[in-house]
Amino acid sequence: MKRSELNSLITDAISFFDKMNFRLPKWAYWKPEEWKRSVHLVQEIVNLMLGWDLTDFGEGNFRKKGLVLFTIRNGDFTKPDNRKSYAEKIMIVGENQETPLHFHWSKTEDIINRGGGNLVMELCGSTEDEQLSDKPLTVKVDEIPRTVKPLEKIILTPGESICLEPEVYHRFYGEEGKGQVLVGEVSSLNDDISDNRFYESLGRFPRIEEDEKPLHLLVIDYPDYLDRG
């Protein structure tokens, strides 16, 4: 993805969050210079990969396959004495904009439609060799059990949520004609480096073409920009 595209998408995302009356932490709006001035204060934010996380899954077509994420809070799974055992994200999903089929080996998560359009979920269990199961799957939508066939659609309207346990394949996208969706995620500890199993061979983070300077840093920018001094 070009940096200019990422800059534009973050600007649009901030406008959408404002429209939905969802406020981000103050550091979400910092410029790279403000990060550098505050580097001695933000080590936990950097270590836990909190902040902006936009991806096209390495496909080069964000509008078709892509996601805007902002990780608000997380615990440190590398520390045995970590007391924060939960994580939270806020996401923006466009109409027919797919987050591809994947599961997590460790994470249990609630996916919540916080407002806007409708979120379409397609779910499937997995086999021991991580293929798609042909068996029905029972999940909970707002704590009410629902049994679905493999890759059967579940539509979450604003206010509805679904609980996904580890090794349950899922993909999602906004329902056509309903507008962008504000999507929340509340989960156990989040590890985007090693806890994503995509059914197809895809990249979790984008490859960035630096055609202009960043307006805001992505989580994958922290090592480069904050080490430059």
Q: With 80 as the cut, is the pLDDT of residue 229 above it?
A: no
Note the pLDDT tens digit of each residue in 31-64. Answer: 999 999 999 999 999 999 999 999 999 999 999 9
The pLDDT score that the predictor gives to residue 79 is 84
**What's the whole-number average pLDDT of the chain?**
96
Q: What is the CATH number of the domain that holds 44?
A: 2.60.120.10
Would you state the torsion angle of the CA atoms of residues 160, 164, 168, 170, taken in this order, to the nearest 10 degrees?
40
Comparing CA positions, the residue from 132, 62, 53, 124 lying closest to residue 98 is 62
Residue 9 has pLDDT above 80, yes or no: yes
pLDDT at residue 199, as a whole number: 97
Q: What percent of the chain is modeled with pLDDT above 70?
A: 99
Domain enclosing residue 92, as ranges: 3-226
Distance CA 48, CA 26 (A): 17
Find the Cα–Cα–Cα–Cα dihedral 140, 145, 149, 155, rounded to 10°.
-60
pTM over 0.85: yes
CA angle 21, 144, 116 (to 5 degrees): 20
Element (H, E) at 7: helix 3-19
User: What are 121-179's pLDDT values in tens digits?
Assistant: 999 999 999 999 999 999 999 999 999 999 999 999 999 999 999 999 999 999 999 99
Give the chain's domain count: 1
